[in-house]
Amino acid sequence: MTPELLFTLAAEFAQATGNSDRFRVLGSMATNDNDRVAHAGAAARWEALASSRREELRAALRETLRGTVRAVPDDELPVATTQRGRIEVRATIPDGTRTVRVRYTPAQALETGAALIACAALMDDRIGGTLTRTLAALPSHLDTGLAPTEPTNEEPAGEKPTAEQPTGGGREIRDA
């Protein structure tokens, strides 16, 4: 189904709904019975057309949106904040013809982010990556049930290993 056809169906549905409402109001304001009956008949015809277009539009949307959408993160702005305080994750389908957006509340974004980091760490550990070594330096109260990764002898330039300096030690003085 093309976007033009969906737009046409939506426009026809909107027009029929608007005309039905207009004739209902005109019928309620009519001063004689003949006008009231004529407007009620026109409203009923437009209402039937609106009902028909609604069902056609629903069927077209179901057909168009059926199945799983496979998307890849947007190259330019995969995560953004909206003016209403939402966090938006943006993606496009591989051929670039359709965008996909998921909006989270701040709390949902934190939960999702934590879950993604945990999943990435588990998968990275299983394939022999280095993400779990980086995350191992962060305090954790959860036991994943996996064997601990061996520490590396490599240190980032200019930083002390976490074992030599406790978390937060002297930070208040440096930040003051």
In a domain, 112, yes or no: yes
Question: Which percentage of the chain shows pLDDT scores above 90?
Answer: 36
Does position 145 have pLDDT exceeding 60, yes or no?
Answer: no
Burial of 128 by CB count in 10 Å (0-12 exposed, 13-18 middle, 19+ buried)?
A: exposed
Closest Cα partner for 103 from 117, 84, 119, 121? 84
8 and 59 assigned to the same domain: yes
Q: Is the pLDDT of residue 85 over 70?
A: yes
Non-local (6+) Cβ contacts of 149 within 8 A are: 125, 132, 133, 136
Q: Answer yes or no: do 96 and 46 share one domain.
A: no
Q: CA-to-CA distance for 45 and 33, rounded, in angstroms?
A: 18
In a domain, residue 125? The reply is: yes
Look at residue 58 in the predicted model and tell me its pLDDT. Answer: 92
Q: Does any domain span residue 150? A: no
Q: Does 12 lie in the same domain as 56?
A: yes
Is 75 among the domain residues? yes
Instruction: Quote the CA–CA distance of 133 and 161 in Å, as a whole number.
Output: 12
Query: Which has the higher per-residue pLDDT, 35 or 135?
Result: 35
Q: Three-state DSSP class for 14?
A: helix
What's the CA gap between 46 and 17, in Å, rounded? 7
Residue 164 confidence (pLDDT) above 60: no
Q: Is residue 170 part of a domain?
A: no
- pLDDT value of residue 20: 95
Given a cut of 70, whether residue 25 has pLDDT beyond it is yes
Confidence (pLDDT) at 173:
40
Query: Once rounded to an integer, what is the mean pLDDT over residues 67-86?
Result: 84
Kindly state the average pLDDT of the residues 45-51.
96
CA distance 139 to 146: 16
- pLDDT-derived band of residue 14, with 50, 70 and 90 as boundaries? very high
Q: In sequence order, what E strands does the chain have?
A: 72-73, 79-81, 87-92, 99-104
Instruction: Check whether residue 35 and residue 13 sit in a common domain.
Output: yes
Out of 64, 88, 114, pick the residue that ends a domain: 64
20 and 42 fall within a common domain: yes
> For residue 69, what are the contacts with CB-CB under 8 A and spacing of at least 6?
93, 98, 100
Q: Note whether residue 41 is domain-resident.
A: yes
- Do 8 and 36 fall into the same domain? yes
The answer to whether residue 159 is domain-embedded is no
| 34/57 same-domain check | yes
Q: The whole model's pTM is what?
A: 0.43
Total domains in the chain come to: 3
Provide the 8-state DSSP code for 146.
S
Residues 99 and 128 in one domain: no
Task: Please indicate, yes or no, if residue 18 is contained in any of the structural domains.
Answer: yes
112 lies in which domain range?
106-137
| Predicted local distance difference test score (pLDDT) of residue 120 | 83
- Same domain, yes or no, for 11 and 43? yes
Average pLDDT value over all residues in the chain: 78
pLDDT number for residue 123: 82
